[in-house]
Amino acid sequence: MVNKVKEKMKLTSIDELPGASEASGKGTEEIDIDLIKPFNNHPFKVLDDEKMDELVDSVIKQGIISPVLIRPKGNGIYEMISGHRRMHAA
């Protein structure tokens, strides 16, 4: 039997996220959605269910209220850290 030990990340602020030190410090900016790729180790599934329908309606009426969190991945591509459902709804 193989004993797999996973180390949990213990962060005290968003600045401790991997890649945060590479952030531009510009705050919020608009980036072409085609340049944003999903985080490969995203632990949740984005479902097309009733809650997603509600989120789509909200995005249509109000837009994206809370910005998504991304980090540079290289070659002008960004990686989604937080906001997979919002991006899917958009």
Residue extents of the structural domains in the chain: 32-89
Looking at the domain covering 32-89, what would its CATH class be?
alpha beta
Residue 24 has pLDDT above 60, yes or no: no
The token pair that represents 10 in the structure block:
């213990």
Residue 27, number of CB atoms within 10 A of its CB: 7
> Which tens digits make up the pLDDT trace of 73-90?
999 999 999 899 998 898
Residue 25 has pLDDT above 90, yes or no: no
Rounded distance between C-alpha atoms, residue 37 and residue 60, angstroms = 22
> Residue 50 has what pLDDT?
95
> Which tens digits make up the pLDDT trace of 32-64?
989 999 888 777 888 899 999 999 999 999 998
